[in-house]
Structure 1
Amino acid sequence: MAPEYAMQGRFSEKSDVYSFGVLLLEIVSGRRNTSFYNYENELSLLGHAWKLWNESEAAKLIDAAIIDPGFKTEMLTFIHVGLLCVQEFAKDRPDVSAVLSMLSSEISNLPRPKFPAYTGRLGSSGKSSRERVYSINNISLTTVEGR
């Protein structure tokens, strides 16, 4: 869900671009954003993609089932475009026609993506994911009352 929609209820074509970027990264990585969790770094799929991109290791994001040396350049372009689409602020995302031009190689000099939305650490404690407490409610109390 685009940050501007999640936080302020605003929806636009740039919100669709955000969703498309997430989908593009999911396809390239072979992982769903909602189920991705990098236990080592506690990063979301977007955070993991951003980290690899900044380390010039974006090729490590590509799913082994679809990697082909002949298409590596295209796959890296897809990752680049995906990261451009998931920018935190809608004004920083390309519009749909620019995305199509980027994907069809009509635009070859792509801008450098900025820090995407939802890339931070998922937890703030130093505990491992198995030790982390997600709720302070340790018990549930149900009272049965007749009508």
Structure 2
Amino acid sequence: MSKFDLLIRLANDRLDAAAERMRKAQAAQQQAENTLLQVKGFIQDYQQRMLQQGQAGTSVAQWADFRLFMQKLGDAEQQQQREVDRAMQRFLMEKQAWLQQRKQLKSYEVLQAREKVRLALKQRRQEQKALDEFAARRKPD
């Protein structure tokens, strides 16, 4: 068992946790974008209905209600856009954390590979030394 096995296992656990957080952040960001699209669709539908109704004739009170409602929808759209922006920032932050964890895991794996090479080289040297000593003892003087 390598001295890096525990570090690699822990790094893998942290990487998995970071991947899960990133996945959740991405899902939240996608949901926020879907909600924004729904709000925009509702605005378009309402504008279209009001345009059709306006062609048929609307009262001043209906027009005032329409403008007030459109203002509230505009506010809702802006608020949802801010939510989309926050969700995107959160996703990017979680992605960066995941990339950092992956980088750390790769570093440990490189160190472990180097350690294996170093130990194999050490073992080969020891074996060669033993063979050389054995050969030296077998030589007739």
Answer whether TM exceeds 0.5 for this pair. no
Answer with 1 or 2: which has the greater Rg: 2
Query: Greater helix share, 1 or 2?
Result: 2
Bigger relative contact order, structure 1 or 2 (CA pairs below 8 A, ≥6 apart): 2
TM-score, normalised relative to structure 1: 0.27
TM-score, with length taken from structure 2? 0.28
